[in-house]
Amino acid sequence: MRERKPLIEVENLSKHFSIGKNKTLYAVDELSFTIHKGETLGLVGESGCGKSTVGRTLIQLYTPTSGRIKFADEDLADKRGKGDKKYIHKNMQMIYQDPYSSLNPRMTVLEIISEGLVIHHPEMSSKERRQRVLELLDLVGLNQNHANRYPHEFSGGQRQRVGIARALAVDPQFIVADEPIAALDVSIQAQIVNLLKNLQEEKGLTYLFIAHDLSMVKHISDRIAVMYLGHMMELAESEELYSDPLHPYTQALLSAIPLPDPKLERARERIILKGDVPNPLSPPSGCRFRTRCPKAMDICSKETPKWLEAKKNHFVACHLYS
């Protein structure tokens, strides 16, 4: 993959939540990575590992507990005031997992997609806003007569297209797609992924694509990052991660993907992880994955593995490589 200029730079990002008395949920802990302009970074892991929290923290729906996020060489900590929040929302948008609950049922599609235009382009007349909405509907594969309908009148795939049009309305540079196909039928998932890819090529968009379906993530992502219990375990280019996974957790995840060839599927060894994901309120010491890792060593319980470049552009946090 050719070298690209970083659009998002994340350094030691953490997001913790206070739960009850003297309890802390370590949702995201000490993450460092970049997202290059025009690329898609896939973010995968089991439910509850902190993927969605990463996305929401990047676009400042959550305020980071610690660490730094830079967007286009500007520190977002300097842009959390009332005036500069507009800058963030203009340039960074989100496509949500559930296309029904994320759309206001009392608003028409025209009103839903126009909302961002009213805020960020107050100079536009209602006629200009309507024309812009009709262009967006056409762009995402919906008919112009859909503009006056309500969300309940659409299928799940159509509602997700409305959500995509809403995200695109203000011409953002960066979009967090938070499991955008998880609530859709399998037959519709590929259509939405292909739409996102086409829009990226046409508009030069940059995506963080959050998912737990590893096969679909490979289809859309330039690079893939693997999370477990708030920590980043591995990050590499898509083909590299699938052909040579280094972390035992990544190896286990990939071994669970069915192979289309029945002979290969029967012959290969599937890695079965023991036990359940630990409670994030009291995560294991050292490596978060050690309680389920088939290759755990004594050092894994004592020291958190460092984030290092084990191979060119292939990063991993595991004592096997340190």
From CA 220, how far away is CA 222, in angstroms rounded?
7
Task: Please check the confidence at residue 53 and state whether its pLDDT lies above 90.
Answer: yes
Among the ranges given (41-55, 80-94, 286-300), the one the predictor scored with the smallest mean pLDDT: 80-94
CB within 8 Å of 53: residues ≥ 6 apart: 15, 27, 28, 62
Token pair 């994030």 is found at 280
22 has pLDDT over 80: yes
Q: Does residue 221 surpass a pLDDT of 90?
A: yes
Q: What tens digit of pLDDT does each residue of 245-263 get?
A: 999 999 998 887 766 666 6
The whole-number pLDDT of residue 1 equals 46
pLDDT of residue 91: 93
Listed by start position, the domains of the chain span 6-247
Q: CA triplet 270, 183, 112: central angle to 5 degrees?
A: 150
pTM, rounded to two decimals: 0.91
> Comparing 9-23, 72-86, 253-267, which segment has the lowest mean pLDDT?
253-267
Is the CA virtual torsion 67, 71, 76, 80 positive or negative?
A: negative
Asked if pLDDT for residue 115 goes beyond 70, the answer is: yes
Q: Which CATH class is domain 6-247?
A: alpha beta
Q: Is the pLDDT of residue 2 over 70?
A: no
pLDDT mean over 110-131: 93
Write the pLDDT tens digit of every residue in 154-195.
998 999 999 999 999 999 999 999 999 888 888 888 899 999
Which band of pLDDT confidence, cut at 50, 70 and 90, is reported for residue 79?
A: confident
Percent of the chain with pLDDT over 90: 70
